[in-house]
Amino acid sequence: MESAQWGPRSISVDDDLLLTLERLDEQVRSLQAALLSNRRIGVAVGIVMNELRITESAAFEALRRFSMDSNRKLRDVAEDVIDTGELPDDLRRRVLEPIPLRPAGR
């Protein structure tokens, strides 16, 4: 057991409690990072929407597919879009190229 000092008196803290507190602290840090990443991706989605005049879901899907196709994390692609204010040419081309039609009867 360890002793922790809170206020004018000390209390004894169980090792299991310390481990739990450390795990919770790590979870909080991870969730904070995820929240920041999510916000940055949202900003990039807004830039794509504005540049290409597409819906939010289409912009997110375009970023997601570009991320997968280029083997990069979505948050990294989003940061590039935010930092440059421009869309990667491949992303722009993929969104704007026409979708091939399937032959009738298939």
Model-level pTM? 0.66
Give the pLDDT score at 91.
80
Over residues 40-77, the pLDDT tens digits come to 999 999 999 999 999 999 999 999 999 999 999 999 99
- CATH assignment of 16-96? 1.10.10.10
81/83 Cα distance (integer angstroms): 6
Give the pLDDT score at 63.
93
* Every domain of the chain and the residues it spans: 16-96
Over residues 30-40, the pLDDT tens digits come to 888 888 888 99
pLDDT above 90 coverage of the chain, percent: 42
